[in-house]
């Protein structure tokens, strides 16, 4: 998933004082785009708090917003519309041959769902991931406290999923296997939203980012819900290309959610990006 959006303390403080039940929206100052060189980005955002936070998160996500802690945000760039909200149509999804290989490569992985609570082991893996994959990104300087806030600061139904290699046959009873990937996910009325995920960056042959998406598809199907929300796909950004591997999927356009029709160029890029 794309990096978590980070907002100023001043913006948070101002929004925490709102008393109306209707959400108030704010606009960030222009900043360099993390996905397209030479572009500037702006975001519109609001606060997700109170008893209606879950319902509001559902409505905003279905309208193209993403959650970062207790903030819901959406790109609001003046001259660019490259960020496109993506959701997988779970009922019609059938894994391709390459995706079946990813599943086979991770047949020794077990996943466990926990409440949204951080651990030292998770943070260690998180730092390893950032130091290897996102050394210059907006999250590169995150501390253990920052990570704990990212996980715990939620007013919606958020869970954290740990993915571990199964321990060896000679391992003591009850011993956990090595933690190799983690996903932070929201349960919504119409599916699961993958808020953020990270993994051991040295295990490239496992394609763990792709594997976690496949796991979320199966979890959503088991819940009888129709969609997995992947956040934004940015056409022209190689790091986002993997998101178009999961077909069929819908993209949010000015006409609403529409079925995505990939071209050969996008398919080739997606196979090389994760």
Q: Which of 83, 113, 138 is the last residue of a domain?
A: 83
Cα distance between residue 37 and residue 197, in whole Å: 24
For residue 220, give the CATH number of its domain.
Answer: 3.40.630.30
Given a contact cutoff of 8 angstroms between Cβ atoms, the answer to whether 28 and 71 are in contact is no
Question: Can you state the angle between helices 97-105 and 208-223, rounded to 10 degrees?
Answer: 100
Whether 3 is in a domain gets the answer no
Whether 100 is in a domain gets the answer yes
State the average pLDDT over residues 242-253.
95
Considering the domain architecture, whether residues 33 and 55 belong to the same structural domain is answered as yes
* Tens-digit pLDDT profile for residues 114-132: 999 999 999 999 999 999 8
Cα distance between residue 66 and residue 54, in whole Å: 13
**248: confidence class by pLDDT, cuts 50, 70, 90:** very high
State the average pLDDT over residues 37-53.
92
pLDDT of residue 223: 98
Whether 169 is in a domain gets the answer yes
Considering the domain architecture, whether residues 79 and 91 belong to the same structural domain is answered as no
Number of domains observed in the structure of the chain: 2
Mean pLDDT of the chain: 88
Q: Which of 52, 83, 114 is the last residue of a domain?
A: 83
Considering the domain architecture, whether residues 90 and 76 belong to the same structural domain is answered as no
Given a contact cutoff of 8 angstroms between Cβ atoms, the answer to whether 192 and 156 are in contact is no
107 vs 237, residue with greater confidence: 107
pLDDT of residue 179: 98
pLDDT at 5 over 60: no
Considering the domain architecture, whether residues 95 and 228 belong to the same structural domain is answered as yes
Q: Which domain holds residue 159?
A: 85-272
Q: Which of 83, 104, 131 is the last residue of a domain?
A: 83
Give me the DSSP letters along 131-179: HHH-TTSTTTT--HHHHHHHHH--SS-EEEEEEEEPPPTTSPTT----E
pLDDT of residue 22: 77
Predicted TM-score (pTM) of the model is: 0.87
pLDDT of residue 271: 46
pLDDT at 8 over 70: no
Considering the domain architecture, whether residues 159 and 246 belong to the same structural domain is answered as yes
pLDDT of residue 3: 53
State the average pLDDT over residues 222-243.
92
Whether 2 is in a domain gets the answer no
Considering the domain architecture, whether residues 206 and 74 belong to the same structural domain is answered as no
The rounded percent of the chain whose pLDDT value lies above 90 is 70
Considering the domain architecture, whether residues 166 and 51 belong to the same structural domain is answered as no
Considering the domain architecture, whether residues 62 and 92 belong to the same structural domain is answered as no
**263: confidence class by pLDDT, cuts 50, 70, 90:** confident
Considering the domain architecture, whether residues 136 and 167 belong to the same structural domain is answered as yes
Whether 144 is in a domain gets the answer yes
Whether 1 is in a domain gets the answer no
The CA-atom distances, in angstroms, between 40 and each of 52, 146, 161 are: 33, 25, 34
Considering the domain architecture, whether residues 188 and 260 belong to the same structural domain is answered as yes
Min mean pLDDT across 16-30, 107-121, 153-167, 200-214 is at 16-30
pLDDT at 12 over 50: no
State the average pLDDT over residues 35-58.
92
Whether 252 is in a domain gets the answer yes
Considering the domain architecture, whether residues 29 and 126 belong to the same structural domain is answered as no
Considering the domain architecture, whether residues 242 and 186 belong to the same structural domain is answered as yes
Whether 264 is in a domain gets the answer yes
């Amino acid at each position: 998933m794309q990096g978590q959006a980070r907002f100023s303390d001043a913006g948070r403080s101002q929004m925490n004082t709102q008393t109306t039940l209707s959400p108030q929206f704010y606009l960030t100052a222009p900043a360099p785009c993390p996905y397209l060189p030479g572009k500037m980005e702006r975001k519109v955002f609001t606060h997700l708090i109170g008893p209606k936070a879950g319902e509001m998160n559902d409505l905003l996500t279905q309208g193209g917003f993403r959650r970062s802690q207790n903030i819901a945000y959406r790109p609001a760039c003046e001259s660019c519309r490259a960020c496109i909200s993506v959701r997988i149509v779970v009922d019609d999804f059938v894994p391709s041959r390459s995706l079946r290989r990813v599943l086979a490569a991770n047949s020794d992985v077990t996943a466990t769902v926990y409440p949204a609570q951080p651990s030292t082991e998770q943070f260690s893996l998180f730092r390893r991931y950032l130091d290897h994959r996102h050394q210059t990104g907006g999250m590169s300087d995150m501390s253990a406290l920052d990570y704990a806030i990212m996980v715990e600061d939620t007013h919606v139904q958020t869970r954290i999923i740990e993915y571990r290699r199964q321990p060896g046959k000679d391992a003591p009873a009850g011993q956990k296997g090595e933690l190799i990937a983690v996903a932070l996910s929201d349960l919504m009325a119409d599916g699961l939203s993958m808020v953020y995920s990270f993994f051991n960056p040295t295990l490239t042959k496992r394609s763990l980012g792709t594997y976690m998406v496949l796991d979320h598809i199966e979890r959503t199907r088991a819940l009888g819900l129709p969609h997995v929300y992947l956040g934004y796909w940015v056409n022209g950004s190689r790091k986002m290309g993997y998101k178009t591997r999961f077909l069929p999927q819908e993209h949010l356009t000015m006409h609403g959610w529409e079925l995505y029709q990939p071209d050969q160029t996008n398919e080739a890029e997606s196979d090389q990006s994760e």
